[in-house]
Structure 1
Amino acid sequence: MPLSQVAVLGECVADAFVAENPGHGELTLRVLPGGGPANTAVGLARLGTPTRFLGRISGDAFGALSRRRLDDSGADLTGCVAAAETSTLAVATVGDDGRAAYSFHSEGAADWQWSADELTLGRLGEAACLHSGSLALVRAPGAAHIEDLLAAAAPRLTVSIDPNVRAALVDPAVYRARMPRWCALADVVRLSDDDLAHIHPGEGIGQVCDTWHAAGVRLVVVTRGPEGAVVSVDGERAEVPAPRARVVDTVGAGDSFTAGLLHRLHAEGALGGRLDALDLAQAVRAATFAARVAALTCSVAGADPPWAADLTEDDLPARGPESPARS
């Protein structure tokens, strides 16, 4: 396996899951570490990819929880900033279908306060790939500095973006306006069909993929939950089926898919440039592996990606093939 790292830049979020206790007139919150980029970094590190996480981690109790999880998973935290601001808190309610709805408490939080001085190329270390996205890429004042770093890094390493649209917090028009710029910078874009519907409502997957390829991105992967994923390389497309798994919830499944995708591309030596040699077959292999990683994440509560040892040929059937997983 290549020794160079995959760098992941973005937020840590404390996910507070609601449990009602109507007999006592109260709510109980179970807090787990999350945040799309942090989840992806954890997933990559657990799979065995050398991973460098770049985050502004608060010194509060939620920040300490996130730091422990990243460190215990094997992520390199030397590029992180010890932030004075508070952590972002997301209160999540999980529906009967396992999907979570969030309300965010994030104003002035540590995750969005990146400065130009903090985001230099030196912070990337020996990374072959830089992945970012989610709220960190759209929340001021840090978002502009993250985009500047992506632009500075793009000529020498692979850039990956997951928009991870949070329509309740950020107007989808913001993502729509920025996607052409992101696609010009990125080599990989991974997003869900829900994200795509927010950004380009009423447009088909193939049409949007072709628009984004024309803007510059080589590989687009659209995950569609139980319908699997669509993989598009320069307009040549294939579908990858979703493995069957016992679905507890879908929290972090898309982030785990991204981790699996980048892990497999890294293991095959594809990362480190503009993916000039990537073909559809290689992209499909990576997405197929990523779908297995996402399915395992769905089979446990919260954003808890699998370790490399969990990924055996018999693992998914053993977890229970009751329903298809959603990435």
Structure 2
Amino acid sequence: MSILVIGEALIDIVSSAGSPDRYAPGGAPANVALGLGRLGADAELLTDVGDDFHGGFLLAHLRESHVRVHARPTGSTSTARALLSTDGSAEYEFSLRWDPDASLVDSGEWTAIHVGSIAAFLSPGAAAVDSLLQRGGDSSALLSFDPNIRPSIIGDRQLALARFESLATRVDVVKLSDVDADWLYPGQSADAQIDRILRLGAKLVALTCGSQDSILSTASSRVRVPAGAVKVRDTIGAGDTFMASLVHDLQGAGSHFENVDEVVLADLGENASRRAAITVSRAGADLPWAGEEGA
């Protein structure tokens, strides 16, 4: 059985002072699918790309990482311009489309279904996300969600919060960054933010804090996992690597989290942090392959 990822694939246009623009494949859900394929999982991606050069490049890139892509290429491919600061962090400007054809996905069983980022919020494709999550909820698949909040794209905060919480009630795992959490729940501590998401129904919440600790929590156990020391080239794809690692290590768990104690949470967090450290040590969303040191 395979892991189904649902979400956008796009071209990152990376801009930094004093350097020419760099073009690279991206999109948070596409990165998660790519990361899963590179770790040896049987990964599928339902997405929406154009029939232009960028679309063909994306499809080839994903297939080289052993991802089976479901898409009907037409029109122009989405882009995200990443503006890099001197510390390697990125801000984004988007030109987007999101209207996938859910009929391309067969009715097979999956060990996990992951949804994320802009695709979870943007119509008309958000309806496909809901439909496939419903199908996953009727099975034993692990369901996961990473909002990867982009305020300039998803619009009104209250509407976005309602959508986030609606999805969080339907999944087993929610992973988000501290920036995401502070936008959704401003003025609250990390522990309070995590507690609120757990009360919505998620079985496991992972909160990443950049170069600081990450926090992984169930209703009964909570651990803080230090980020590994690494020379950062840029942070593009770091959170997606963390997410792919969690899905890879939890696939098959379904809704059975009774045995996810502090030891298991620490192992999950350490694996994810170690894999993310590989990604940030090199340019762009170049996620690790199975067999790489640390992966």
Q: Same fold (TM over 0.5)?
A: yes
Q: What displacement does 1:293 show?
A: 0.8
3-state SS, counterpart of residue 53 of structure 1: strand
Matched, 1:133 2:133: no
Q: Which residue of 1 aligns with 2:196?
A: 211
Amino acid corresponding to residue 47 of structure 1 in structure 2:
L
Q: Deviations over 1:15-63 (max 9, x none)?
A: 0012556xxxxx8422100000000111111111111111123211111
Asked if 2 retains the 8 angstrom alpha-carbon contact of 1:39 and 1:303, the reply is yes
Select which of 217, 233, 249 maps to 2:234. Answer: 249
| Equivalent-residue separation in structure 2 for 1:249 and 1:259 (angstroms) | 18
Query: Rg: which structure is higher?
Result: 1
Q: Which residue of 2 aligns with 1:149?
A: 132
| Equivalent-residue separation in structure 2 for 1:296 and 1:290 (angstroms) | 10
Matched, 1:12 2:2: no
Q: What displacement does 1:283 show?
A: 2.6
Q: Which residue of 2 aligns with 1:293?
A: 275
Asked if 1 retains the 8 angstrom alpha-carbon contact of 2:55 and 2:73, the reply is no
| Equivalent-residue separation in structure 2 for 1:185 and 1:191 (angstroms) | 16
What TM-score, normalized to structure 1? 0.84
Asked if 1 retains the 8 angstrom alpha-carbon contact of 2:16 and 2:85, the reply is no
Structure 1: runs of 5+ lacking an equivalent: 22-26, 316-327
Q: Deviations over 1:153-206 (max 9, x none)?
A: 113111100000001222333331122211211000001000001111111122
Amino acid corresponding to residue 64 of structure 1 in structure 2:
G
Amino acid corresponding to residue 267 of structure 2 in structure 1:
R
Q: Deviations over 1:243-269 (max 9, x none)?
A: 111100000100011011111223xxx
1:98 to 1:231, Cα distance in 2 relative to 1, 3 A? same
| Equivalent-residue separation in structure 2 for 1:126 and 1:227 (angstroms) | 37
Amino acid corresponding to residue 285 of structure 1 in structure 2:
D
Asked if 1 retains the 8 angstrom alpha-carbon contact of 2:222 and 2:265, the reply is no
Select which of 82, 96, 106 maps to 2:86. Answer: 96
Asked if 2 retains the 8 angstrom alpha-carbon contact of 1:121 and 1:149, the reply is no
1:19 to 1:207, Cα distance in 2 relative to 1, 3 A? closer
Matched, 1:39 2:31: yes
3-state SS, counterpart of residue 221 of structure 1: strand
Amino acid corresponding to residue 127 of structure 1 in structure 2:
W
3-state SS, counterpart of residue 177 of structure 1: helix
Q: Which residue of 1 aligns with 2:99?
A: 113
| Equivalent-residue separation in structure 2 for 1:278 and 1:261 (angstroms) | 16
Structure 2: runs of 5+ lacking an equivalent: none
User: How many corresponding residue pairs?
Assistant: 292
Asked if 2 retains the 8 angstrom alpha-carbon contact of 1:210 and 1:235, the reply is no
Asked if 2 retains the 8 angstrom alpha-carbon contact of 1:121 and 1:152, the reply is no
| Equivalent-residue separation in structure 2 for 1:302 and 1:122 (angstroms) | 29
Matched, 1:61 2:53: yes
Amino acid corresponding to residue 29 of structure 1 in structure 2:
D
Select which of 267, 274, 279 maps to 2:260. Answer: 279
What TM-score, normalized to structure 2? 0.93
Q: What displacement does 1:121 show?
A: 9.6
Amino acid corresponding to residue 219 of structure 2 in structure 1:
D
CA RMSD of aligned residues (A): 1.8
